[in-house]
Structure 1
Amino acid sequence: MKDKKELKGVEKAAILLVTLGAERAAQIYKHLKEDEIEKVSIQITQLKAVSPDVKLEVLREVYNDILAREYVEQGGLDFAKSALANAMGEERAKRILERVQRSLEGNPFEFLDKADPEQLIMLLENEHPQVISLILANLSPEQASAVLGGLPDQVRYEVIRRIASMESITPDVLELLRTSLQTRISTMMGGTAKVGGPELVAEILNRVDSNVEKSVLEKLEKEDPELAEQVKNLMFVFDDFMLLDDRDLQKVIRSVKDNRDLVLALKGATEELKEKFFKNMSQRMALMLKEDMEVMGRVPLREVEAAQQRIIQVAKELDEAGEIVLQRRGAEEEVFI
């Protein structure tokens, strides 16, 4: 494992979440954007052994940043600088405050991080190396490296040299450059970039609690029935397991870690769907689940829906891994040869 000084921000975030545990990590996920969740989740899967010292340093850094933010909010930067310097020395206080300031101010070029690198290269290829270096210095390392790789050799060298020697720049200049770039990239893309649509709505609703999903769909059905139908056709719901190939359903059943989820989920299923599940498991397992369903008695609907969502999530993970193929109602049936 790397030393803490060599860790990227996303690696520190992954270590923090793993250290805090699954329950607290889930609470933090609720406050992150979807692309942030994706990046951190991927990083968590790639984490190897993390020493206790590295975990402690990451926790200490997060604590100090939170402390600094509180000081800034209470009395401004001067108060925060004085309080932190008294607590941990001037040099360390300065580093922490610089980090917090960058976070509070935000990144004026954040919109470029989601742009196609090829478009950025076209946008910047005729710019002066000083302008290019300023922009790349404000992009994520991944996006900056992708753009840098597409620049001519001589320009690439000049840009790297200027980034290495770059110092502070006034906010007015950054804002002027940001506005100019936003206008030009919008013109280049012709104003037709796809940023939403029924597909995105379906994907979002597939990830929220069932109560939120129901509420949104009910309102959508009242205001725009046609759009609501489009969204529902793009979503995968528990009843759609009826469309699943038997072998794929068997893989889903085997991948469900807690049989109690199957018991709860099937309590809210149609008789036809129950039978489909039962015929795709061993007779012994089917008998055991049926007995558990009878013994369990009445359960809150929210528990049934939560169990169904967990099984749906298992199926989606298998689908994304290419192990099964999920069919949705209204979607064109995939043909295999």
Structure 2
Amino acid sequence: MAKAPSKNIVDTSRLTGAEKCAVILLALGEEHAAVWKALDEDEIKEISQAMAGLGNVTASVVEQLLMEFVAGMANTGAIMGSFEQTQRLLATIMPEHKVESLMEEIRGPAGRTMWDKLGNVNEAVLANYLKNEYPQTVAVVLSKIKPDHASRVLSSLPEDFALECVMRMLRMEPVQRDILDKIEQTLRIEFMSNLARTTKRDSHEMMADIFNAFDRQTEARFITALEERNREAAERIRALMFVFEDLSKLDPGGVQTLLRTVEKDRLALSLKGASDTLREMFFSNMSERASKIMREDMESMGPVRLKDVDQAQMAIVQVAKDLANKGEIMLAGSGNGDDELIY
């Protein structure tokens, strides 16, 4: 269940128009829910989203916005805007299935439009859904989200399928409004609603963030203790604290040191699943002959299992962290700001 927002509103000057409407409608309560019938669907959606994120609204703010109800508000001193309260109010004026759909949207990734929301969905999660859709549908979706996000989603799709989607995008004609509406509706019902219900942060990711915030000695102490009890969990947290793509932040000297240390076969396998940027970074730090041999080795591998690539990448990340522990390279942190370092 979603928790109530924790912010505390004490100044009306900082409220948007939608937030002011939300406060007033909350103050009116369910008994006067008929007021909502005068609003169109877009207005209802905007005000509902504002209402769900209000948090605590002080009595003085309510008094300023709704002077004629000061006496009634004096008993409570404040009102609370929450998902549950918003859902109860909407249920008095809208069909249940519409209320549920709207609330799932509000709970889902932030964004005004469906395409804004998709832009806030992890590329791997979005790719996992889209890989089961028709290439033409995927082409439409990718054409509507931001290019940098679309590129990450494409790279997470099976290669042949991704190429087919690219070909469809190249030949794409303007999409008719009714078709676009149908795609948006499908995404809302089949994807965003399920995402809002099932999205749960992996506990290892949470612990990786906590471990990232430790100083070097504390991190080493906890990791060592965890390895004795659950080596697999410790290894997963290590990998999440610094991912393979974060090696792109290495300086040239660090890349050279890493290249001298890692096994070439393992590097070739790991680069099969790397971004073009990261591949070129490694190739540019090799001699022309070594780079050519590495490219040929990768090509001769043919299709490789994703599991094998992941294992190779995790192994190289561990080598990089070992080198960092020895002070031979410096790794820029991936999750807590540009200035943080992971040792």
TM-score calculated relative to the size of structure 1? 0.32
The structure with the greater share of residues assigned to strand is 2
TM-score, structure 2 length as denominator?
Answer: 0.31
